[in-house]
Structure 1
Amino acid sequence: MRLSVRILFAALLALLVAGTGFAQPRDVALADLFPEQRHAKMMLVMNNVFERYHYRKLVLDEQFAAHILDNYLAALDPNRSFFLAHDVERFERNLGRLADDLRHGYVAAAFDVFRLYRMRVEHQVDYALKLLAQPFDFSTEEYYAFDRSEAPWATSDEELDQIWRQRVKNDALSLRLAGKDDEAIREQLRKRYEGLARRVRQFTNDDVFETFANAYGQALEPHTSFMSASTSENFDISMRLSLEGIGAVLRADNDMTVVQRTIPGGPAGESGKLHSGDRIVGVGEGDDGPIEDVVGWRLQDVVDKIRGPKGTVVRLQVLPRAVGAEGPTRNVKLVRNEIKLEDQAAQARVLDDLDNAPGVRIGVIEISAFYRDFQAEANGVKDFRSTTRDVRHLIADLDEQGIDGLVIDLRGNGGGSLTEATALTGLFIDKGPVVQVRDSSGRLEVEKDPEAGVVYSGPLAILVDRDSASASEIFAGAIQDYGRGLVIGEPTFGKGTVQTLIELNRFVPGGDVDLGRLRLTMAQFYRVDGGSTQLRGVEPDILLPSADDVTEHGERSLENPLPWTKIAALDHPHLTAFGIEELRRLSAQRVAKDPGFQMLVARDNILNEINDETRVSLKESDRRAETKRRERVLEDQKNAFLGTRGITPVPLDEDNPDEEALEKERDAIDAIQLEEAARILADAVTADNQVQRPRAAMSN
């Protein structure tokens, strides 16, 4: 699946902003969809910036033009349900000319492709609307390939119509399974398909250029993107409004809007009802406003629909990741709010009832983000908030409670401030380098522990998962390279690159038109041992069981990522390691019999089934049976685990579940990996096999 094309604005379109006034878009005439002189200027500046500053050097030849075309077609028609094979062949015959045109700033070819796309959309939507007048038959054996991202392009109008006949039937069946009657199904699908055609008609020439420019940037690597003047304005609004909204980052996946991650401290994350991989299919305003179908909408349009003022209610109709394409959906009610630093602040507790080590007390510090209040710092506030300052205080509190070891929980931590990742590492090492940063020209900078001395010198473990990224990987990698502690969990995300925003107007002195911005990958992180955190991430010393394929997650799942590379290692102490093999053996014995890990593996197996699917049955009885089978597996495993904890499970199909009971479930499930990490560290403590620590006392 062409995932990288489907996250063109994922990092920029976090739903963190309050409502602002937007002009109602209007239909754009086909005669107006041609490039203007400023588009040529923008393309020339992009070429210049990419050649001079991008980490992966640009070679604008026919092969690179082929990558751009592939990305552009995938951005417009990700499911290959509009263009025909002979259309694509005609585009590909002109790749040499396309490369030459782009070198000179000409982008007419992008507009030619889009105008044809718009006509194809109008034709297929008309056909889909005619199909809605026919009766639905869900009793025959038939399958719909809902993921055609790698399928051959249709070779005829008849083949394309067959794809759309199955698509309409699948859309109708999905709504039927959600409990809608035939009349409601036809009305909802009519609005959905008409809305698709309307949104395409509203594309301006700037929208066309932005879509193509993003396809161009992504041909270099997945994190490079272009923001037009209007997109840049929205981005600035989001930054000024201090992360106000629902606190979720979205990406586009074919016709769906998918939750990429929730922001710690935000309404979505705090609710526990919205998770990575969930698909938003409808949005309603207020407690009782109608829920509008958003399947097939552009990501920016969904963002505009969800955003709104602090304190107001938004209702999301969600297709959970665990139920697959067949549903059913559930509604999530959220109150938009401001995400404050204190909501993201590190938290601490003590685990002192571990079954493998009675009497051993393991401290836990949960760090959901590497935060730093830069504004307060700039204003001269001496006690401004930061991850390192908070963790320093928490360590002192835990030390007073007499802990025997410390686990730093970085699960789900998507990163943040590099300064904080470096300073936090310094709490656990005496002195030395933490991370190397190499830019596009090969210049190397080394970020070092800013303060001599050690705040905590006891047994240490770092718990990570597949969503621990960027600054989390820098911290965990440094602790591992120094041999300072154990890294436990899953292979991390693999985000080892550095992006910056570049104003295109900087390169056109005196320009009176805002040319927009580039989000540019201009550097890469390298660990103290010389290996990059890019792509491979941090491999734990002790892996916790998971049925998930790491190649399907994180940077590894993106198309065309920068490769893993290695440079020279830096001189640094390496402390005597834990007896890892014995700790692995003891942990493996426990988790093999642990109902919690059995549940997690069963859940991953179901999710892998769903991720591997590219088609679904259009026979209603089969779809219902498959949904029930998956729900039964998930519920049986969950109930077995919760029973060992003395927790009464909440049925999956309960309409109004008790919030307190749900929270108990979530806390118990969240503790599975954490408690095993604590047991592993306790094994090291009781076996007197922990790391040889620097001779440093606790300090303030």
Structure 2
Amino acid sequence: MFKKLYIVLILGAAMACKAAPSKTTPQVNPGDLHPDEQQSVVLKQVADLISKYNYKKVELNDSISKVIYNRYLKSLDENHNYFLASDVKSFEQYQTVLDDDIKSGNLDNVFYIFNVYKKRYNEHIKYSLAQLSKTYDFTKNEEFTYDRDSLPFIASQAEMDAQWSQRVKYDLLNLKLASADMTKNKETLKKRYENLLSQSNKLANTDVLQVFMDALTNAIDPHTNYFNPANAAEFNIDMSRSLEGIGASLASENEYVTIKSIVPGGPADKSHLINIDDRIIGVAQGKAGEFTDIVGWRVDNAITMIRGSKGTIVKLKILPKGKNASDKPKIVELVREKIILQDQSAKKEIRTYNENGKVVKIGIIYVPAFYLDFNAYKAGDPNYKSTTRDVKLILDTLKRDGVDGVVMDLRQNGGGSLVEAVDLTGLFIKNGPVVQVRDTRNRVEVDEDEDPTISWTGPMAVLVDRFSASASEIFSGAIQDYGRGMIIGTQTYGKGTVQSVIDLDQVISPSIKEMLANITKKGTKPVGSMSKFGQLNLTMAKFYRVSGGSTQHKGVTPDVTFPAIIPLDKYGEDTEPSALPYDMIKQSTYTKVGDFSAVLPQLRKMHDDRMAASPNYKYLQEDIADFKKRDAEKSVTLNEEQLKQQRDADEAKTFERNNLRRVALGLPPLKKGETRPKKEDLDFLKIEAGQILTDYISMGNKLTATPVKTTP
């Protein structure tokens, strides 16, 4: 059966000939950012694809324009810290204009709003810098309101200045609680604010387009997304768990592009010439290439220069950690390689449980995402990176180690490749349908596991939480429907939509590309790479469990439920205003291989009895209550003594609770100032999931139920 390579998602238009109507022409100021012709093309192309092919078939009209406007405004100033009420009042004229702007490719109004935001941002940071010369009284009983999203926009400049003055005081107070040296604290804060200004001044028009595109696509549905070329590259790296480069992560620190981590076995590591906190001040391509100075660059622009195709040469001009700018840098020549991101791949561990004098070994496999190196797969690389391949290898080792059961840990797993969800399910069932996919024409395609081999036939459970989404829900839903394993944890996210990845370079017509190229040749400001227009992940289908129900909105309900550490009322598909609804279709024909209904009451009772006597369960409930309390707070005291008392009390409470948790797990308590060993595991819920599976095994249940064929 042909499998569509959908991606499930921490998931040739003409140039605009005239601007969309607006009531006021946006004012142009020095330092403003401006859209270019390529961005106009991208905007129109994305709008055209959404209007024609999105599953919801949303029409761009005044109603959706208001939603886009509100999302755009919120993305810029969600906490109401930058715009004045008068700014927002002046923007209201664009509420019902943005749909016309989008259709015509006009970004002038969008950029005007952003430029006002940037202007206000810079004004407030400069004001904050000026406040550092003041002397603050930390004995006053004042409060700083840091959560303002439910409050109106500030009406006057005087009120805005007062708000930012309090923010500076709060920043200084935080530093003062750690060090009494106020001169040093002010210098630290000065550098922090100057860095914020520097980053603001490095914003590019691509940033503006990305922010607006997020507002546009999320107004349609939560999982249709546009990625500019840089973000598309990051998305594809995340999907494949591999990249081609030098094997180092970078960050911007004090105007320098700085090495923050090094991938073992990568070119940077093998050179023995690059270390953590070294600074890259220049980059050259090939042996004879000239160096480009990258001091002060945005880190994403530097990464674009440093990454490259496998086998090519890049030269770096390195200023080692501790050296001054006046010191002579060293030159390091590296050959780029394909880097496999092992730290972001599936991992295993084995936990041992004692059950009535019998030792039970449970293999736990942590799966962070459903990743697939699609390019390597398409090219026929026999060693392409994928979740299923990694998990199969892990299962082989667990069998050799003699484990009695397997827990698949899908917590925090936000999804990935639909193909991988199907193939991974196939490691645990003989064959049969795994998921049903319905497209915009209501055609239903059933994706099946056609491989009759099973990698693990023994007892299994799947551990999920609120952030287990999309492909995670396909896998856990199929395992539950087949009766192949127990689902343990909290209700999952509820993302039941399917996205197709559209490379815009493949759909924008050659004539448009040629026109853009000619504009660049004539001396106009370059519009960016002519072969990189970005990527659209477009919702074009909806998936359903083999039992007929969608996971959309409802997610997967566990067989044994854990307390919700992640607030269900704040995170999840059912909290998204633009999300598609829940519905059902006809179930598939499939053969159930097990049924836990007879044993679940006893397993739940055993779990509940353990929790009633468990100190860790009590501490977990207290943590959840504390989180809800902190989440409801919107302000903080600026009185030094009061804040110190609060912080000290919170720190002492956390320290004591963590030690009590350690003792409950059989670990020694830590002394004040002692750091927790890195490899120490305090994951109480993971341990309990293994215990529940151990209970099942100890009851003599090993999927001995007679297979039952389920038909529509």
What TM-score bracket applies, with the shorter chain setting the length?
0.7 to 0.9
- CA distance in 2 between counterparts of 1:451 and 1:249 reads 44
Do the aligned partners of residues 434 and 603 (structure 1) sit closer, same or farther apart at CA in structure 2, a change above 3 Å counting? Answer: same
Matches within 5 A, 1:2-13: none
Tell me which amino acid in the other structure corresponds to 1:681: L
- Name the stretch that deviates more: 357-366 or 108-117: 357-366
Measure how far apart 1:398 and its partner are: 4.6
Q: TM-score, normalised by structure 1?
A: 0.75
Structure 1 segments unaligned to the other structure (5+ residues): 1-8, 12-27, 251-262, 268-284, 291-299, 316-336
Match of 1:323 in 2: none
Shift of 1:396: 5.2
Q: From the superposition, tell whether residues 159 and 568 of structure 1 become closer, same or farther in structure 2 (CA, over 3 Å).
A: farther
2:664 matches 1:663: no
Post-superposition offset of 1:132: 1.8
Is this contact kept in 2: 1:224–1:518, CA < 8 A? Answer: yes
Asked whether the equivalents of residues 591 and 707 of structure 2 are also in contact (C-alpha less than 8 Å), the reply is no
Show the counterpart of 2:113.
113
Partner of 1:18: none
For residues 87-142 of structure 1, what are the alpha-carbon distances to aligned partners after superposition, in whole Å with 9 as ceiling and x for unaligned? 22332244233333333333322133233333333433343233222112221122
1:72 correspondence with 2:72: yes
Partner residue, 2:243: 241
Match of 1:293 in 2: none
For the structure 1 residues 633 and 302, does the alpha-carbon distance in structure 2 shift closer, same or farther, using more than 3 Å as the test?
farther
What is aligned with 2:18? none
8 Å CA contact 1:114, 1:208 repeated in 2: yes
| Deviation sequence 1:579-629 (CA, Å, 0-9, x none) | 211211110110222233333333333333333332222122222222222
Provide the C-alpha distance between the structure 2 equivalents of 1:220 and 1:45, rounded to a whole number of angstroms: 15
Q: Say if 1:551 and 1:557, in contact at 8 Å, map to a contact too.
A: yes
Structure 1 residues 354 and 674, CA gap change in structure 2 (3 angstroms): farther
Alignment correspondent of 2:509: 508
Conserved 8 A contact 1:473-1:492: yes
Write the letter of the residue equivalent to 1:577: F
SS in 2 for 1:213: helix
Provide the residue aligned with 1:519 in structure 2: 537
- Picking from 516, 519, 543, the partner of 2:561 is 543
Q: CA deviation at 1:434?
A: 0.4
Q: AA paired with 2:694?
A: A
Match of 2:148 in 1: 148
Instruction: Specify whether residues 169 and 451 from structure 1 end up closer, same or farther in structure 2 by C-alpha distance, changes over 3 A only.
Output: same
- State yes or no: 1:567 paired with 2:585: yes
Between structure 1 and structure 2, the one with the greater Rg is: 2
CA–CA distance in structure 2, aligned partners of residues 348 and 198 of structure 1: 43
The CA deviation string for residues 553-572 of structure 1, in whole angstroms up to 9 with x for no partner, is: 35456564444443332222
Trace 1:473-484 onto structure 2 (pairs within 5 A).
473-484=473-484
Distance 1:222 1:613, change over 3 A: farther
Q: Which amino acid aligns with 1:165?
A: S
1:284-327 Cα offsets, whole Å, 9 max, x none, are x945889xxxxxxxxx9576799998999999xxxxxxxxxxxx
* Residue 599 of structure 1: aligned partner: 619
C-alpha offsets along residues 436-464 of structure 1, whole Å, 9 cap, x if unaligned? 22334433322101212544443322222
Equivalences for residues 514-663 of structure 1 within 5 A: 514=530, 515-555=533-573, 560-574=578-592, 575-578=594-597, 579-651=599-671, 653-654=673-674, 657=675, 662-663=677-678
Distance 1:177 1:619 in 2: 11
Match of 2:255 in 1: none
Instruction: Please say if residues 279 and 320 of structure 2, whose CA atoms lie closer than 8 Å, have aligned partners that are also in contact.
Output: no
Question: Which residue in the other structure is 1:679 paired with?
Answer: 691
Kindly report the root-mean-square deviation, in angstroms, between the aligned alpha carbons of the 2 structures. Answer: 4.1
In 1, Cα distance between equivalents of 2:106 and 2:543: 35
Question: Aligned equivalents of 1:289 and 1:603: distance in 2?
Answer: 40
The alpha carbon displacement at 1:204 in A equals 4.2
Higher mean Cα deviation, 301-310 or 592-601? 301-310
Which segment drifts farther, 584-593 or 73-82?
Answer: 73-82
**2:292 corresponds to:** none
Is residue 404–residue 458 contact of structure 2 (8 Å, CA) maintained in 1?
A: yes
| Preserved contact between residue 606 and residue 630 of structure 1 (Cα < 8 Å) | no
How many aligned positions are there?
A: 605
Contact 1:599 1:634 in 2 (8 A): no
Q: Distance in 1 between matches of 2:434 and 2:46?
A: 33
Mapped to 2, the partners of 1:425 and 1:637 lie a distance apart of 39
The one-character-per-residue Cα deviations of 1:21-57 (angstroms, maximum 9, x if unpaired) are xxxxxxx963764444544433322221110122332
- What letter matches 1:530 in structure 2? G
**SS at structure 1 position matched to 2:590:** coil
In 2, Cα distance between equivalents of 1:559 and 1:175: 40
Change beyond 3 A, Cα 1:631–1:157:
same
Amino acid at match of 1:674: K
SS at match of 2:354: coil
CA contact under 8 A between 1:460 and 1:484: conserved in structure 2?
Answer: yes
Instruction: Specify every segment of 5 or more residues in structure 2 that has no aligned partner in the other structure, as ranges.
Output: 1-8, 12-27, 253-260, 265-274, 281-296, 308-315, 322-336, 517-529
Could you tell me whether the CA contact under 8 Å between 1:462 and 1:488 is conserved in 2? yes
- Displacement of 1:157 in angstroms is 1.8
How many Å apart are 1:489 and its aligned residue?
1.6
Aligned to 2:63: 63
Q: Secondary structure at the match of 1:616?
A: strand
8 A Cα contact 1:548 1:605, kept in partner? no
- Give the aligned partner of residue 100 of structure 2: 100
- Using the TM superposition, give the Cα deviation of residue 542 of structure 1 relative to its aligned residue in structure 2, in angstroms: 0.2
CA distance in 1, matches of 2:499, 2:673: 43
Distance 1:178 1:462 in 2: 44
| Matching residue's letter, 1:95 | Q
Task: Report the Cα distance in structure 2 between the residues aligned to 1:467 and 1:652, rounded to whole angstroms.
Answer: 34
What is the Cα deviation at residue 145 of structure 1? 1.7
Q: Is the contact between residue 286 and residue 313 of structure 1 (CA under 8 Å) also seen in structure 2?
A: no
Change (3 A) 1:347 1:230: closer
Query: 1: CA distance between counterparts of 2:430 and 2:346?
Result: 22
What is the alpha-carbon distance in structure 2 between the residues aligned to residue 523 and residue 266 of structure 1? 37
* C-alpha contact 1:474 1:527 (8 A) present in aligned 2: yes
Give distance in 2, aligned partners of 1:465 and 1:630.
27
Aligned sequence identity (%):
36
TM-score by length of 2: 0.74
The code of the aligned residue for 2:243 comes to L
